[in-house]
A and B are shown apart, each in its own frame.
Chain A
């Protein structure tokens, strides 16, 4: 079945640093989603990407839909303490746009 892999698994960075994380799949996805889960909360959608090569920003966050359709990248610039959380990539499954496959997540810690 479809699976997503994320790297790195966890990151510890200094406040103010830029962050990069990625998501890869063995199969093609037509939509890429990036969610963030704050401690003690459910995931919240950050960015949705719909076209290969698309680059989309949301404040200090920028995500890209890989040309091969098998990967996506998320960058966070000038990190701040509230960026702490788990970042999940996700995409609709082959059989249904609403059966979303989630990656295992990248855990981000920001040291003030």
Chain B
């Protein structure tokens, strides 16, 4: 247990569906992240939030829409996805941005997404 939980753990959706991924951290952290992990590829940073404000959007298509209502919760809203969006989506949190040489990121277990 890393203190970061993600739900659901597995999700299968059609290209016309709308679904949301949820992440919650119990570590008192202020920064939260979404990563995409595809087979045979490095983890790709998607979004970064610091104190509920989005600080990074790594050229992610608009069919992925993040939401951070408070420092403990992060959502990724999905709509009209493509089969190539199938991947493991990982959430992470850290103490906060710019507060040290490196703030260790704690990862959740991920949501395995399959788009049919």
Contacts and interface: CB of A to CB of B under 8 A. Distances in A.
Interface residues of B, number: 26
**In terms of DSSP, what is the predominant structure of the interface of chain B?**
loop
Interface residues of A, number: 24
A45 B42 contact: no
Contacts of A41: 107, 109-110
Contacts of A98: 31, 48, 94, 97-98, 102-103, 105
Given A40-B109, A42-B2, A102 B43 contact: yes
Interface string A8-38: 0000000000000000000000110100000
Interface in B29-44: 31, 40-43
Given A42-B2, A42-B108, A92 B102 contact: yes
Contact of A48 (B40, B45, B104, B109): B104
Interface of A: 4, 30-31, 33, 40-45, 48, 50, 88, 92, 96-105
